[in-house]
Each structure stands twice: as structure tokens, then as C-alpha cells.
Structure 1
Amino acid sequence: MNLLLQTTHSNLKAEIAVTGSKSETNRLLLLQALFPNVSLANTSNSDDSEVMQKALKGNEEIIDIHHAGTAMRFLTAYFAVQEGREVVLTGSARMHERPVKILVEALEQLGAKISYEKEVGYPPIRIRGQKITASKVTLAANVSSQYISALLLIAPKLENGLELVLEGEITSVPYIKMTLALLNDLDVKTSFEGNIIKVFPKQEVETKEMTVESDWSSASYFFSLAALSSQSSISLTSYKETSLQGDSALVDIYKKMGVETQFEGNKITLTKQKDFKFETINLELNNTPDIAQTIVVTCLGLGIGCHLTGLHTLKIKETDRLEALRIELTKLGANITVTNDSLTLIASNNINHNVKIATYNDHRMAMAFAPLALKVPIIIENAEVVSKSYPDFWEDMKKLGFIISETEV
């Protein structure tokens, strides 16, 4: 499904309820599977979370998680400790290109039994669940935080808990802290000092309902819309001023692009500042790589340059996001260069009209480029890919007055 996005005005006003955080939901679904007396509210309705839930509740031997990278990492750890259970974890063609070797080797250090069905280091993988008594594992610190979180989430159920030693500079610290905070909410004792993380064993937790905060990554597209609008008052629920999600850094980042964020109860309201003086944006996004696509597209729309670093994990996402951004932004007329971990956009006021944006099976490509419709008509290919994290995205865009129509082009 290709969608043509247009708008007749750029004064944006609406109140939108954003689905629960995919990151929090997937962590809590795994913890709920380990501790069944935990109940959840405001969970994400994303494809990724539905796939995760189905896998945890089912009893099939072959589990297909499609494009869901988080599910692949978390479920690898989960099934490694399910004594007597044997499963094969598989996914889409792209998933078979996304490495899992680092996580598999860490689990094997603990005594897990995992083998590769095809290419060494990549899914599909066969997991034979074991009782694990080893409690110390070493991991490179600059790997995807999902590898680290996968190990931390199963740690309370390990007989002797877990001591995780991270070697080198740690990336995506907020996601690690989110995992530890959710464990702490269940009264699981943890510590994170220097490069050593400890999770202490806990076989039972008290009955508890946990409410998932709405997704800050999903909010990023509305920050972009507010920045590119002539005037805006966009209210989003449900958000906390003290969030566990690293992407809440959006508040400070978009202040540099003329967007003011007001917190009131569980709601945030985004307003565009009048007569804002824009400057080149320089950001280190080690802790928040998922919002890089949104930021660079906003800068293009505003006619300002940016230099973004700390993006090395983007090369192993749903697609090589850095290369995808280079290709698609170039189509729009942008002067952009990328390296293995950075991106530089030169300021320009020219944006090509009616460009067709390829999405590469990547939900964030579709949503990051959509706000440009405030500046030029734009076509999003395979627009249904948004269901991976935000199924209601196009309906919510319509609430803001966007004209969205299917096109054969």
C-alpha cells in the first residue's frame, strides 16, 4: 500500500492517545511470563508486542517472530532457561541477516544449549531449555542494549542470579536502566556500578499491576510535526515527566528546533515557538539512536544542517538505517553523507516534490518521513509497515488534518 500525503494547512491541533511503549511492553511481557501473578495495563498494540505475547503463551516448537528484533533477543534468553522445552526461533529474511552470536555466546557462557539451524551467528536458532546455575558472564559493552536487557530480564529466575561484566564503553544506557527499573518495581534487587551489573535471584514476586507508559519513540513524529508546522498545539497521552525511556530526551532535543513541551498530569502538549532562531544541530545519540531518522528529516524540513553521531547500532536494525536515510534523503534533494556511526546533513531550502520514499520493511522510515508532507506532497511506499510499532499512525495523522490517499504511483 503506497500512500500520498498532503495537507492544506500547517496549523496543527489535536489530542492523541499514543499506544504503550513497545520497549516497556516487551520487557514486561517477558517478566509476566516468568512471574505470572503480574498483570499489565496500557500495553503496546504493535506487531512486535503481539508477536512476543503469542510466542510466550504458545507451545509450538517453531516460533516465527517475523521482523521483531526485540522479540528475537528477549525470547532467545527466555527459552534458554525453560527447562525441558525445545524451540526453533526463526523470522523474516531480514531477521536471518541480523546477528545473534554475541547473545548466544553470552548465554552459552552460562550453560545454555543453543545451535544454529543454518548460518553460524544468525537465526534461525534451536534452543534446548536448561536449568542454569552459572552466574557470571562477560559481554562487550558497545553491543545492542537488547542483548544486555535479555540477560538481565531472565536473571532473577537463575538459581544464583547474574553478574554481568561489560567491557568497554557502554551504549544505550537508558534502555539498560529501564530494564533494571522494571525489575526494581517487582522488588528484584539490582546494582549497576561502573561496568558491573548485578541482579539477585528472586523466585516469587508479589501480585501487582504494572501500567506501561506511552511510547516516546512514537511521540517523536509529533515533535517533528510541531517543529515543521506554522502553529501547533498537539496533546499526547500518557506520558511521565520522569520517564524510564531514553527517547524522552526529545523534550530537550526539539527545544533546539523551536518546540516547547508542557507536562500536565499524564499529558504533554507540544507548541511551536514563534520567530525561533534555528542553528545547525549537533547531537550525540548513543543513548537514543531510534530517533535519529526523525531528527534528520525534521532538519531537512526546517532547512537547517545537522551532524549526528553515536549511530553504529542503526546498521543492524530492520534495515541498514544509515544507508536507507542516505538514499531516500538524496532523492528529496538533500546533501547528506554517512559513515559507520554518523550522519551529516548540509543546510538547504530545496525539497523535491512527490518523491516516493522506500521504507525497507522499516516502520521508522515510514513515520520519520511522513511529517515532510507539511512542506511538500510525499509518497510513502508500503505504508502498512507502521503496524510494527504504531498501527494507528495514519489515522492519527488524519486527526491533524492530513489528506492521505492510496496511490498506484
Structure 2
Amino acid sequence: MEQRDARTTAAGKPGRNLSIAPTTLLRGEPSFPSSKYYTLRYLLAATLAEGESQILFPALSEDSEALFRGCRALGAQLDWLGEPGERLQVRGVGRPRAAGAVLINVGNAGAVLRLLLGVSAWLPQVTFVTDQPQSLGRRPNRELLQALESLGVRVEAQGPEGYLPITLYGGQPHGGRVVVSGARSSQYVSALLFLAPLLAEPLTIEVVDSLTSQVMVELTLKVLRQAGIVIEHDAALRRFRVPAPQAYRAGAYVVPGDYPSAAALLAACAAMADPASELRLGRLPAGEEDGEALVAALLAMGCDLQREGETLCVRGGRPLHGLELDGSRIIDCIPVLVALACFAEGRSVFYNVENLHYKESDRINDLCAELQRAGCRVTPLPDAIVVEGQPEGVEGGVWVDGHSDHRLLQALTIVGMRSRRGLSLRGVEHIAKSFPHFFSELQRLGAVVSPALSW
């Protein structure tokens, strides 16, 4: 993997700030995004199929826009049937193709980057860039890039960890055997699984070290099966054999609601002091691995949470207690669960979460630093977060920084609503990565959110 010096600086655009006032009551039926995990995988499968596919209720966010740009760059045609967010028609291309060099701006979307890196190995030259050098620009891709090199792709990247911008010189990747570490990201494995069916030869993928966020690989396998792809694998998801060549099948896909986005609303309501607080969230089907793990975690904390078909109903004003939780299966929900645990009785430990260090921010150290500033008793560890709950609430009354991370913004908002003096939140524009209307939706449900004009 060739290296180049990276000297890109942040664009320096002014951020937006909001004041989160103390809140005791939330009520309503909130609107929240569709699953970005499913949207990404369904759209990629549709792009790699020849013919027309339709995707109902795809997620709309900055990550989605990055995905749409990427799929168009691979040769797909995307058209909305009706209003944006309702039905997306995709005319796929089969194997990605381009006449010349391709440039793709992936914004701040790490999963979009990694999955596109895999299938873009068929392009003769493709360069991935970001307009968020201080966030996605600092996330490592080394293990995936090394795996692609072993399949015959030449790679140029920034530094030994494989930072953006990244250029692939591909066109003729081959099969065989590839070894990849899953310790830092399961997205590396998913990227290879999407690429493998298009190869001329079978591919064996061996996962070494641990496999973090295994549930995301399970989701990838589910979508690939729906697209007609056959993959053999062991029970532990450490060894895969993908027969080749195979053809992706065009189809119709329905995207469910997004459990991590729902987690922020569920945790916010559970943190409320008024027992009249109640939220009902639909389009959350049972049986989803991350959804079941989230529900189990909330129930273990004592939340008043009930399921009615695809609807989850949560009520606030109930006493909460700490828990010990293996966070690897719901890694994107951990920040808001940590925020909720700040108001539970006793100690909570969220462990097996080392890869939180490698997200849009360092979601262990950055989150704990901001929570401590607000008055929470949290301790960051290399692979865990320890919380000493304060059911009486925290003081607040300070500025906190979202570190350009939508998940931190959600967690800090929950703490601000439960604090005695509220919080002033810096950089709220980054909520658009996954949940653009998060703050306006909280206002509609009863929160008091207003502009904060000074830092």
C-alpha cells in the first residue's frame, strides 16, 4: 500500500449551537429515520444487479446522500417515484464500470466508504475523498486495503493506517483466499462479501482476531441472500466461502425503521422524571438482532418498555438501575445508553466496545470528557465505559461539544434535558449525518430547544 502525505485541513465552516433546557415530559409518536444499515446494503445490492429494483422508505440523511453519489459513480441510475424517501427506483449495472477515473466524495459516512471500497475494485481508477478530514479523514482502513491488495488491487492511501484520500487501481481483482482482521470494524468483512460474488473465481475469506459488531455481518448475509447470492460460512462467522461468478438479482426491498435512531428517543423518554412521559415508535420489527439487544438492555435497566407488533411504547418517570452490558452487538446505541445510565441507581459497565474509539469521534474518551463537564460520573477505559449513576440528576449549565459526531450529540442532548440547568451544545449541524430532524422532533414532543448564540 503506497503512502502519501496528508495535509488537508478542515473547511472551517461555522457550526451551529443549540441550548437544551431542562425537560421533564415527552409525549407523542415521533417520526424517525429508516435504517441506514439496510438502506446501504439494499441500495448496493440493487446497484450490483442488472435491471430495475425498488427500495421502499430508504433513509434520508447526509450518509444517504453520500451513498447515492457513490452508487451513481458505479454506474447505477437512481430515480424517486413519488416524494423523496418513499420509493427509490434503481437501475443497476451488474459489475461496476467506468470509462475513466472516478472521484467519490463519501462525506462523513464510514460504512459507505468501506463497502464502496470493496466493489470499486472493479474500476480501473477510483479516488475516495471526504469533506470531513477531522472526522472520517482520521478513521483507519488499513486492514481492508491490505485485503484488496492481496486480490490484485493497487492502493494509494495516507499513512500506514490507510486514511483518506484513497485511490484504487483495480479492474481485474481475482479470487482465491484473503485474510482480514475484524477487530476494528466488521465493515471490512462486509465489503469483501459484497465484492466476492462478482469475481471470476471463488473467494475464501478468513477473519482473524475478533469480529466486532458481528450483527452487521449477519445483516450483510441476510441482504445478500435476498439478492440471490449464495455464501457458505461457519457458525462463528470466521470463515466464508463465496462461489463465483454469481449474479445479483434485482428485486423490491422494504427498509424498516432505524433502531439506533429509535434508541436516542427511547432513552430520552426513559430519562424523563414525569411518569406521564410516553413515546410510541412504529416500524421497528421484532427479530432484528440489534433491536432485540437494545430492547433487552433497556428492560435490564428497568425501563417501562412494551412491544405491540412493530411498535415500541416507552414510559418515563420510572426508577432505573445500572447494568453490565456487552456493547458489541449494539455499538451505535452505546452513547445514548451511557447517557441514560448517568441517571440510573448504581454502577453501569459497558464493555467490549473498543471500536468506539474509531468512529466519527473517539466515542469513549470524547464522550466521557463531555459528560464529565456536564457533571456526570463516567470513567473511560480502553475497551469500556463505567458510569456511576446519579438518579437525582446532574448540574449542567455548561457548554459541551459534539465532536462532529451525531451519536455524541444525541447522548449530550439527553443529559441536557435531565440536568438542572440545561446544556449549551456546540456543532449541532452534524446531527444531519443520520437524523436531520432530531432536534425539531424533540421540540414537537415537548423539549425546549433554542439557538445558543455564543461560545
The bucket for the TM-score relative to the shorter chain is over 0.9
Structure 2: how far apart are the matches of 1:302 and 1:108? Answer: 48
Structure 2: how far apart are the matches of 1:330 and 1:253? Answer: 23
Could you tell me whether the CA contact under 8 Å between 2:321 and 2:344 is conserved in 1? no
Once the two structures are superposed, residues 224-269 of structure 1 have per-residue CA deviations (whole angstroms, 9 ceiling, x without a partner) of 12221222321112111011x5254111100122323333343222
Say which of 38, 53, 56 aligns to 2:68. Answer: 53
Which consecutive residues of structure 1, in runs of 5 or more, have no partner in the other structure?
none
Structure 2: how far apart are the matches of 1:374 and 1:117? Answer: 41
Local SS of the residue matching 1:287: helix
Change over 3 Å in CA distance of 1:49–1:8 after alignment to 2: closer
The reply to whether residue 90 of structure 1 matches residue 134 of structure 2 is no
Q: Find the counterpart in structure 1 of residue 151 from structure 2.
A: 110
Q: Find the counterpart in structure 1 of residue 269 from structure 2.
A: 226
Change over 3 Å in CA distance of 1:135–1:101 after alignment to 2: same
Percentage of matched positions with identical amino acids: 24
Structure 2: how far apart are the matches of 1:108 and 1:365? Answer: 35
How far 1:307 moved relative to its partner? 1.1
Q: Find the counterpart in structure 2 of residue 172 from structure 1.
A: 213
Could you tell me whether the CA contact under 8 Å between 1:80 and 1:114 is conserved in 2? no
How far 1:217 moved relative to its partner? 0.6
Say which of 341, 345, 351 aligns to 2:394. Answer: 351
Structure 2: how far apart are the matches of 1:397 and 1:158? Answer: 47
Say which of 355, 359, 371 aligns to 1:329. Answer: 371
The reply to whether residue 290 of structure 1 matches residue 332 of structure 2 is yes
Could you tell me whether the CA contact under 8 Å between 1:227 and 1:258 is conserved in 2? no
Q: Find the counterpart in structure 1 of residue 444 from structure 2.
A: 399
How far 1:223 moved relative to its partner? 1.8
Say which of 102, 121, 135 aligns to 2:162. Answer: 121
How far 1:305 moved relative to its partner? 2.4
How far 1:119 moved relative to its partner? 6.3
Could you tell me whether the CA contact under 8 Å between 1:152 and 1:162 is conserved in 2? no
How far 1:77 moved relative to its partner? 1.0
Could you tell me whether the CA contact under 8 Å between 1:18 and 1:237 is conserved in 2? no
How far 1:280 moved relative to its partner? 2.6
Change over 3 Å in CA distance of 1:347–1:16 after alignment to 2: closer
Once the two structures are superposed, residues 126-185 of structure 1 have per-residue CA deviations (whole angstroms, 9 ceiling, x without a partner) of 112322232321112323011111111122212224321112332211111000000111
After TM superposition, which residue ranges in structure 1, 4 or more long, deviate above 4 angstroms?
117-120
Change over 3 Å in CA distance of 1:370–1:303 after alignment to 2: farther
Local SS of the residue matching 2:233: strand
Letter in 2 for 1:90: V
Say which of 417, 432, 453 aligns to 1:374. Answer: 417
Structure 1: how far apart are the matches of 2:140 and 2:192? Answer: 16
Structure 2: how far apart are the matches of 1:9 and 1:273? Answer: 9
Compute the TM-score of the two structures, normalised by the length of structure 1: 0.92
Letter in 2 for 1:251: V
Could you tell me whether the CA contact under 8 Å between 2:322 and 2:346 is conserved in 1? yes
Structure 2: how far apart are the matches of 1:288 and 1:330? Answer: 23
The reply to whether residue 33 of structure 1 matches residue 78 of structure 2 is no
Could you tell me whether the CA contact under 8 Å between 2:301 and 2:322 is conserved in 1? no
Say which of 161, 174, 181 aligns to 1:133. Answer: 174
Could you tell me whether the CA contact under 8 Å between 2:182 and 2:207 is conserved in 1? yes
Structure 1: how far apart are the matches of 2:152 and 2:445? Answer: 53
Structure 1: how far apart are the matches of 2:297 and 2:48? Answer: 37
Say which of 298, 312, 323 aligns to 1:281. Answer: 323
The reply to whether residue 239 of structure 1 matches residue 284 of structure 2 is yes
The reply to whether residue 340 of structure 1 matches residue 379 of structure 2 is no
Change over 3 Å in CA distance of 1:359–1:185 after alignment to 2: same
Could you tell me whether the CA contact under 8 Å between 1:235 and 1:269 is conserved in 2? yes
Matched positions, count: 403
Cα RMSD, aligned residues only: 2.1
Change over 3 Å in CA distance of 1:209–1:381 after alignment to 2: same
Structure 1: how far apart are the matches of 2:211 and 2:450? Answer: 44
Change over 3 Å in CA distance of 1:345–1:235 after alignment to 2: same
Local SS of the residue matching 2:328: coil
Change over 3 Å in CA distance of 1:403–1:273 after alignment to 2: closer
Once the two structures are superposed, residues 354-374 of structure 1 have per-residue CA deviations (whole angstroms, 9 ceiling, x without a partner) of 222201110111111212243
